[in-house]
Amino acid sequence: MITTAHQKIGTPSITTLSETIDNETSRSRIPGNTGIWVGIFCVLVEFLMLFSVYFIARIHNPEAFLNSPDKLLTIAGTTITLFLLSSGYCMVKAINAIRSDQSKTAFRWVNLAIILGFAYPIVKYFELSWYAQHGINVKGGIFFGTYYYLTLNHLVHVTWGLMGLIFVSYRTVKGGYTSESYSGLEAAALYWHTTDILWIVLFTFFYILR
């Protein structure tokens, strides 16, 4: 009779309470892991210092930063931006897939993210080759010295990000991630999104601002 009365007044069952707690825990969970957040913090501090170099150079050499961007290949910067953003979108889809235990789908999305990500160093290679052919190098003035210094630093981090994506791709195809355990995949995606954001800032500073 007591059980029946509880059911009639809508008292939640133990199973319902357990599911509610699990859902709340899932929503409050920090994506990725502690290690990747420490790494991202270090990267952001590094680029905060690099951006300070940019602004100091710009303040002391306004004419160089006003005229020199016209010599950069804006089409190359735009192409890199589109590839990186598309690659980041693929990682979002991969995370959504693994949350539904669709490991094969997640694997395909990660691989597509890798392919699109590799377009960045390829485009950057042809861009820098074009600059070299036209005498645009670090000796071309403070603007180009700053440009090479910041963008090549970013390229290093993109390379590390691609290595991370390749690793999680292997782990995904081997069944290393499930809907209950995919922090490693999230960590790689977070780092990759960080490189996206940093590139958008660099793209704005060097290719757009005049």
The encoded tokens of residue 46 equal 């590094």
DSSP per position, 65-109: HHHGGGGS-HHHHHHHHHHHHHHHHHHHHHHHHHHTT-HHHHHHH
- Spell out the per-residue pLDDT of the chain, length 210, in tens: 444 444 444 444 544 434 444 444 445 678 888 999 999 999 999 999 999 999 999 999 999 998 899 999 999 999 999 999 999 999 999 999 999 999 999 999 999 999 999 999 999 999 999 999 998 988 888 999 999 999 999 999 999 999 999 999 999 999 999 999 999 999 999 999 999 999 999 999 999 986
Q: Are 69 and 206 in contact (CB under 8 A)?
A: yes
Q: Are 183 and 32 in contact (CB under 8 A)?
A: yes
Cβ-Cβ contacts under 8 Å for 192 (sequence gap 6 or more) = 87, 88, 91, 113, 117, 161, 164, 165
Domain ranges of the chain: 30-208
pLDDT computed for residue 118 by the predictor: 97
One-letter amino acid of 174: K
pLDDT computed for residue 31 by the predictor: 85
How many whole angstroms separate alpha carbon 184 and alpha carbon 31? 9
Neighbours of 191 (CB within 10 A): 22
Residue 177 zone, left/alpha/beta (φ > 0; ψ -120 to 50; rest):
beta
The encoded tokens of residue 9 equal 């007044």
The CATH superfamily holding the domain 30-208 is Cytochrome c oxidase, subunit III, four-helix bundle (1.20.120.80)
pLDDT computed for residue 139 by the predictor: 85
